[in-house]
Amino acid sequence: MLQHSFMKALFHGLIADQLVVPYPTLHGDERENVRMIIQSVQRFFASQVDSARMDAQESTPDEVLAGMKQLGLFGMTVPTEYGGIGLSASAFARVMEEVAAHDSSLAVTLGAHQAIGFMGILHFGTEAQKKHWLPRLATGELVAAFALTESEAGSDASAITTRAELDVDGATYRLNGRKIWVTNGGIADVFTVFARTAPGTGGNRPKITAFLVERQPGVLSGKPERKLGIRANATTEVSFDDVAVPAANVIGEVGRGFKVAMEVLNVGRLSLASGCLGACKRLTQLTIERANERRAFGRPIGEFELIKDKIAWMMSETWALESMTYLTTGLVDARVGDCSLESAICKVFGSETLWRIANEALQVAGGAGYMADLPYERFLRDARVNSIFEGTNEILRLFIALSGMQGPSRKLDEVAKAIREPIKGLGLLSDFAVRKARTALGREQLRGVHPSLEREVEVFENYSVDLARSVEKLVRRHGRSIAEMELHQRRLADMAIDLYALAACLTRTTRVIERRGEEGAQREISLTKAFALPAENRLHANLEGFARNTDVRRLAIADWARKGGGYGFDVMG
């Protein structure tokens, strides 16, 4: 099973290079199809979309939504047999990247509709549900939304209070509750809603079920929320007052809604990462143009080293984000069994990279960037939500670390049991001894990478070993209590993020070299090397942090402040 997840294997100290080499690519017909869609998107946005006005008016004109529907953008992920375009994950990501480069609000609208809004039907729906819903969702006749978050249930989905009770006839549920911050909540015709169908008992999670709910009497949307960014998206509260939902509208199995939500969010995180990528590219291009236009001391500011360094940093980080995003969509298209860690990594890295790039782009623009007449401040505002959407980055870092550690932890438990029962566990102990010997005698290899990247491959291989060893040490030392040690989990997650990004850059650059030759790939080689050294420094710092840190003091400072100590700094005190 390890071979079905590159990153889960890496937490074991195994490099499943067959999953990432060769780097995936779109093929013939679909590449041409995507190119035509992108050209249509570019023409449409240039002629029909005024993002600044939409942002100021905090709404999307009906004609803009209608235009996107006519282009087929509401049915990109719907298979052709149900009336959609049937794009692969990679092709869909490429179109979402293009939309987000023009307008974040519209990218969010499209993503909320198909990356999460009706994705539950695609993954878990019955054939009857697909035939009934997907054709109208593909054309945009119906707009979808995803209703999970509640006032007391954000990252903790088990705290959901919305309830669905089965009528005595056994054919209808009665849905009551309130969801907040529903993206597309003001325009949606159908909602994927998560509700309790049985209470939590004996310390177990409550049974949560996913439902398809049509807009009808009892389904009420609140006023559009006033937001920092993505203002043109109709984000609202949605309440359900004794709404009749046919039992046939259950998505997946009754009581297994948490599984539906997690699978859908895995897909949504990739859509979000591709949107972040599009915005990064647009901002980098705006920065380059501004650096060439703006003058200081008699020459363009782009000639100064500090500005050049910002541009180089933007390009290398965007290169890494692009490489890891399309590596992951390639894994999805190849039907690799589990891409949950990879998707979460792309979302975390993408959202944080975009935020930093938006900040630096505004900085290069100077005072003009702070003004609403130029798009920098809008991109900055729009960027902020991405680290909150679809699982906060704090929660996702814990997810990356704990999911990654789960396998090694279970293996160590099995080994401990085998030691207690050596005859029964002879085979397991032998396997464990072989793996330990292999780790001691030599490292796992990332094969198939071009020799010009040998130094960076060595960094990847060495720190992959360090990641696995750190997991084993932490599990042995702290046991189950590691689940509460979030600062160590963050270090593991950040190491995993840098390692995945590095692997993606290395395998992608190798593909470019194979196509163009080493001389023709100098830009890509430089981008990868420019990303790799800071990544190596971060990996080293995180590794050192397991042994040398100020965790205890920092936590004590926070506890002191929370318990009434306050800020408490007074130069006159």
Is the peptide bond preceding residue 79 cis, with omega within 30 degrees of 0? no
SS3 category, 181: strand
DSSP 92-137: HHHHHHHHHHH-HHHHHHHIIIIIIITHHHHHH--HHHHHHHHHHH
User: DSSP E strands: which ranges in 158-206?
Assistant: 163-166, 172-182, 190-198
How far apart (Å, rounded) are the C-alpha atoms in residues 6 and 337?
10
How far apart (Å, rounded) are the C-alpha atoms in residues 519 and 289?
27
Q: 309, 248, 283: which is closest to 100 by C-alpha?
A: 283
SS3 category, 211: strand
Given a contact cutoff of 8 angstroms between Cβ atoms, the answer to whether 145 and 183 are in contact is yes
Given a contact cutoff of 8 angstroms between Cβ atoms, the answer to whether 234 and 95 are in contact is no
Residue 342 catalytic? no
Consecutive H or E run containing 167: none
Given a contact cutoff of 8 angstroms between Cβ atoms, the answer to whether 336 and 96 are in contact is no
Given a contact cutoff of 8 angstroms between Cβ atoms, the answer to whether 272 and 390 are in contact is yes
Gyration radius of the chain's alpha carbons: 25
Length of the chain counted residue by residue: 573
For residue 179, give Cα distances in angstroms to 169, 198, 260, 319.
Answer: 27, 18, 17, 37
Q: Which of 150, 317, 360, 390 is catalytic?
A: 390
Strand partners, 173: 166, 245
Q: Which residues contact 495 (CB under 8 A, 6 or more apart)?
A: 463, 466, 467, 470, 539, 542, 543
How far apart (Å, rounded) are the C-alpha atoms in residues 366 and 362?
6
Which sequence positions are flagged as catalytic? 390
